[in-house]
Amino acid sequence: MIKMDNAPNKTVLVIGGGLAGITAALAAMKNGAQVILVTSGPGTFALSGATVSIRGMNKEQPYLQEALDFFKDITIAAECEYKGAFTGSTFIPDIIGGLQEIALAPFSLWAGRPVNGSKVMIVGIRGLSGFSAGLTAELLTSSVKQIGLQVTYRTATIEIPWVRNGFFTSLEVANHLEDKQRQAQLAELLKPLVKNQDLLLLPAIFGMTMGSGEFNGLARQIGCSVGELITLPPSMVGLRVLHAMQKYLKQSGVEIISGYPVQALQVEDGICTAAFVDTPGRNRVIKVGSIIVATGRINKSSLAIRTPSQKTETFLQDDCLVNESMQLLNEQNIPFAANIYGAGDMLETSDCKNGNALAIWTGYRAGVLAAGGDNIG
């Protein structure tokens, strides 16, 4: 049995719940569209440190600054604020003692950026797998010298009383730290370590609900500025940002269908008229005004374009192309349909060095255009 949704022509269906899909959904919603977002799981953005780099991108690219400003604004509204600026870049540390050059970063990572002449305490947690505070401090000392800075890194190790089962991950610690009482206990453990220090650095161990307000409150309890180090995937920072953005999407009126892939798009007379979602028990068919495909590189090969009148079915290929209007192109460089748009790292122009910036830029443009917005050319 097939369930039909009679959605108005202003409905924009976004396929993909990663950074490009989220940005596209919010851009379309802000431009007056009714938005449905379908996601079969988190993208690479949620598993990473969630930073944004524009290294290697043409900064004169139309609407790039507008898109990044839009993204910063929505992160403030979603209580997962990003710091930084389109016009500059900075370096933030990771747990293996390296420095990542970024333009924008979540507030907790931004707090950890090296400042010349500062004194920093790096805190290890006994039993936490994959992290050595001493090794990180040693490597960071060398890394900051290479960019002309002098930072004094000291180390200390604490034992968390409520995690005693040998080795554990940062995700396990984060799960415990959802509890306010345990956050307060952690603050008491850290207080004695911050005397004469400018910054206290921890691996990313704070939970999903740790917004900027809660983070600043913890810093006040400890008596020192607090920052997080980017951990190896899956990183709590990316998961935390994803959680906050999904919550904001729902609050903004975006319908989210999670865990079920879109199997196919139906195209008739050059227009996409419906999407087929593989929901359990019955297939769901959503009538649409526009479609934005932002599935990333993992899931897009399973998405078919059906043309019933010609009895043909085409699957999306690797490294998809879009034209200047962000319309998704087939192998003949012709749009699949006038109202099917593409965004994110599924595009041929994607580069791992600036993938998140490209996801924001293409997602924003696709969202505005799919909604019929007139403030983008």
> Checking DSSP bridges between strand 225-229 and strand 255-258, what pairing results, if any?
unpaired
Quick one: three-class SS letters along 45-108?
HHHCCCCECCCCCCCCCCCHHHHHHHHHHHHHHCCCCEEECCCCCEEEEECCCCEEEECEEEHH
Mean pLDDT across 308-331? 84
What pLDDT digit, counting tens, does each position of 105-135 carry? 999 999 999 999 999 999 999 999 889 999 9
Q: Examine the pLDDT at 375 and tell me if it is beyond 60.
A: no
- Return d(Cα 352, Cα 297) in angstroms, integer: 12
- The pTM of this model reads 0.91
- Return d(Cα 33, Cα 157) in angstroms, integer: 51
Q: Which pLDDT band, with edges at 50, 70 and 90, does 377 fall under?
A: very low
Could you tell me how far CA 192 lies from the centroid of its own chain? 35
Mean pLDDT across 195-209? 93
Q: DSSP string of 295-352?
A: -TTTSGGG-EEEEGGGTEEEEPPSSBEE-TT-BEE-TTS-BS-TTEEE-STTBTT--T
Amino acid letter, 200:
L
Helix (H, G, I), strand (E, B) or coil at 206: coil
What are the DSSP E strand ranges found in 147-211? Answer: 152-158, 199-203
% residues pLDDT > 90 (the chain): 64
- Return d(Cα 345, Cα 297) in angstroms, integer: 7
Residue among 223, 286, 221 at smallest CA distance from 2? 286
Mean pLDDT across 42-70? 87
Amino acid letter, 24:
A
What single-letter DSSP state applies at residue 235? Answer: P
Q: Which pLDDT band, with edges at 50, 70 and 90, does 277 fall under?
A: very high
Helix (H, G, I), strand (E, B) or coil at 355: helix
Mean pLDDT across 305-325? 82
Predicted confidence at residue 354, as pLDDT, reads 59
Predicted confidence at residue 199, as pLDDT, reads 96
Q: Examine the pLDDT at 211 and tell me if it is beyond 50.
A: yes
Domain ranges in the chain are 2-41+259-370, 86-233
Helix (H, G, I), strand (E, B) or coil at 155: strand
Q: Higher model confidence: residue 61 or residue 11?
A: 11
Question: CA distances (Å), 353 to each of 16, 55, 87, 112, 119, in order?
Answer: 21, 7, 17, 21, 30
Q: In terms of CATH architecture, what is 2-41+259-370?
A: 3-Layer(bba) Sandwich (3.50)
- Return d(Cα 263, Cα 99) in angstroms, integer: 41
Q: Examine the pLDDT at 1 and tell me if it is beyond 60.
A: no
